[in-house]
């Protein structure tokens, strides 16, 4: 099976997942963490690749009557997926957008998109300890905590 159509980040995510599934040792004992990093208002943020389904460049369709934190929706393989403004969820101003980049993440309710102003980068960082979630000027986001504020938003519908 060929994976030539996948982006570099998607291939890296799939490769990392395959490595983790084939490991017999406890993955959490590994002091390194694979993340995607991105900048928002002069701050570097990171998201664990295990939370990531895909990185998409997709036209976001604006929908009327939704809160400002909802950028709109995209069609992903026949599913209408809500896209949230990550900057607003973090309490930041709207970023200047050069690309329509969406981090597709999995939640218990289905897939959800997080809009970024630029494509993220794949990096390996030192795993944080409980006292220090911010390492090397990178703020590691906790997806569950980030999405707690979005529980009342529609996440996904069949097209």
Could you give the CA distance from residue 135 to residue 56 in angstroms, rounded to a whole number? 27
Instruction: With residue 89 as reference, give the H or E element that holds it.
Output: helix 86-89
- The number of distinct structural domains making up the chain is 1
- Decide if 75 is inside a domain: yes
Could you give the CA distance from residue 110 to residue 107 in angstroms, rounded to a whole number? 5
* Per-residue confidence in pLDDT tens, the chain, 159 aa: 455 666 777 777 766 766 655 444 444 455 788 889 988 888 888 898 988 999 998 888 888 888 888 889 999 988 899 999 888 888 887 666 656 789 999 888 788 999 988 888 888 887 765 445 555 578 888 888 877 765 544 444 444
- Decide if 147 is inside a domain: yes
Q: Give residue 97's domain range.
A: 8-158
What is the domain-level CATH number for residue 107?
2.40.50.180
Matching residue, tokens 């943020």: 45
Give the per-residue pLDDT at 113: 92
- Decide if 3 is inside a domain: no
3-state class of 59 per DSSP? coil
Could you give the CA distance from residue 145 to residue 155 in angstroms, rounded to a whole number? 16
At 66-109, the pLDDT tens digits run 888 888 999 998 889 999 988 888 888 766 665 678 999 988 87
* Strand spans (E) along 108-153: 110-116, 121-126, 134-135, 138-140
Give the per-residue pLDDT at 81: 92
- Decide if 130 is inside a domain: yes
Could you give the CA distance from residue 61 to residue 97 in angstroms, rounded to a whole number? 15
- Decide if 2 is inside a domain: no
**Model pTM score:** 0.68
């Amino acid at each position: 099976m060929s994976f030539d159509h996948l982006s570099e980040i998607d291939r890296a995510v799939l490769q990392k997942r395959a490595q983790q599934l084939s490991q017999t040792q406890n993955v959490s004992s590994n002091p390194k963490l694979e993340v995607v990093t991105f900048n928002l208002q002069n701050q570097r943020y990171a998201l664990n690749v295990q939370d990531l389904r895909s990185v998409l460049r997709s036209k976001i369709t604006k929908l009327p009557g939704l809160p400002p934190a909802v950028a709109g929706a995209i069609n992903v393989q026949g599913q209408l997926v809500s896209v949230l403004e990550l900057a607003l969820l973090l309490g930041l101003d709207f970023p200047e957008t050069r690309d329509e980049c969406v981090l597709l993440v999995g939640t218990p309710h289905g897939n959800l998109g997080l809009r970024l102003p630029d494509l993220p980068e794949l990096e390996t960082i030192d795993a944080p300890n409980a006292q220090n979630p911010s390492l090397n000027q990178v703020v590691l986001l906790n997806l569950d905590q980030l999405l707690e504020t979005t529980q009342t938003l529609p996440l996904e519908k069949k097209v």
